[in-house]
Structure 1
């Protein structure tokens, strides 16, 4: 059974079968809501970045250097980090998949934008479908609702999804609930909300939007670990 730890904003860690630690979009140090999280204690064997915005990559370089983890992201982001001395990295692009030791990862479409902290073009934003021995799940990254999400339900048997729900910059709860239905999941971990004033949500209202479709929305506390 996979274990998910929420580190605030869109940063999550997921431990899959065999103890492999997957860390997505590390943004902790600049996040005032995540002051209690010790960045130097976050485990990572792989760091997966959905796109280049600072609120998804702020702590990536530090964590990659400390842990020796492998970076997985799109080609442009991987090249940018390689120029900064990150050698363990695996580039991907939309529609492509790769078999890692812990399972298969596919880089899937997201409708958003992407630029790295210094203004460098960040390539196409994306999400990830991970198929490990003990679970299969979708991490949306920052995205609008789009019809490609229907393909996720058609082509994968997903156990859960991690979806942006904060509105304004991404899907809000209503669109995210429909995305979950299309993807064929019954459990969703919500991310990318409450960090900044434009994305503060009504949590109970958000849960009700998912409940209307028979889907459970989980909103773990920052630093909390849950089993899925």
Structure 2
């Protein structure tokens, strides 16, 4: 499994013939490492409808015919111009050709009337990724331990989401094999030191933190 950090909360995960794109905020992202026209995912995940997460989802999906996974109210909006949308609800799981997608709760605004923000537990060929979306720390993260998360993608930017201290507590609850920080240093308000977070993870947990700069990737 190759995990590439595009910038902000956007990741491209590739495993064999599958290419999974999370929260594709690319075109207006000041730190994005690629152009939206350069990614060709088979599947796209949109955690909520804020512009720095839905980003280029529809444009990319229409160009590549990628399947979009998101929550119900957002899915209704997307389906107005793209048919290939799997719109679920918190706690539900969709079976897919690469494994499964479970919608996990995120404590954050949805960006759309009546909707929900979410995170995703994605089983890709037997390895589980948890993309937290935008969320504050919640005791519910203890539920993720039983899923044996291979890699957790967690926000550390603070103000709008968890900060480094709360993200560290999340790692202690989730107990992933790897954790990659996200949603930091895109804008001045989100300025954080990811290396300090990685050191705290190493000092206080059994997980391994991996800091990626936009454009960098790691094989996990």
- Residue aligned with 1:128, SS: strand
For structure 1, the residue ranges without an aligned partner over 5 or more in a row are none
Q: 1:176 aligns with which of 128, 145, 167?
A: 167
Q: Distance in 2 between matches of 1:107 and 1:7?
A: 22
Q: 2:75 aligns with which of 67, 74, 78?
A: 78
Matches within 5 A, 1:1-228: 2-16=1-15, 18-34=16-32, 36-83=33-80, 85-115=81-111, 120-121=112-113, 123-153=115-145, 155-214=146-205, 215-228=207-220
| Contact 1:77/1:122 (8 A) holds in 2 | no
| Contact 1:11/1:23 (8 A) holds in 2 | yes
The count of aligned residue pairs is 219
Q: Distance in 2 between matches of 1:170 and 1:122?
A: 20
- Residue aligned with 2:185, SS: coil
Between stretches 126-135 and 52-61, larger displacement belongs to: 126-135
Q: In the TM superposition, what is the alpha-carbon distance from 1:122 to its structure 2 partner?
A: 6.3
- What is the TM-score when the length of structure 2 is the normalising length? 0.95
- What is the TM-score when the length of structure 1 is the normalising length? 0.92
| Contact 2:120/2:130 (8 A) holds in 1 | yes
Q: Distance in 2 between matches of 1:159 and 1:226?
A: 13
For structure 2, the residue ranges without an aligned partner over 5 or more in a row are none
- Residue aligned with 1:80, SS: helix
Q: What RMSD, in angstroms, separates the aligned Cα atoms of the two structures? A: 1.3
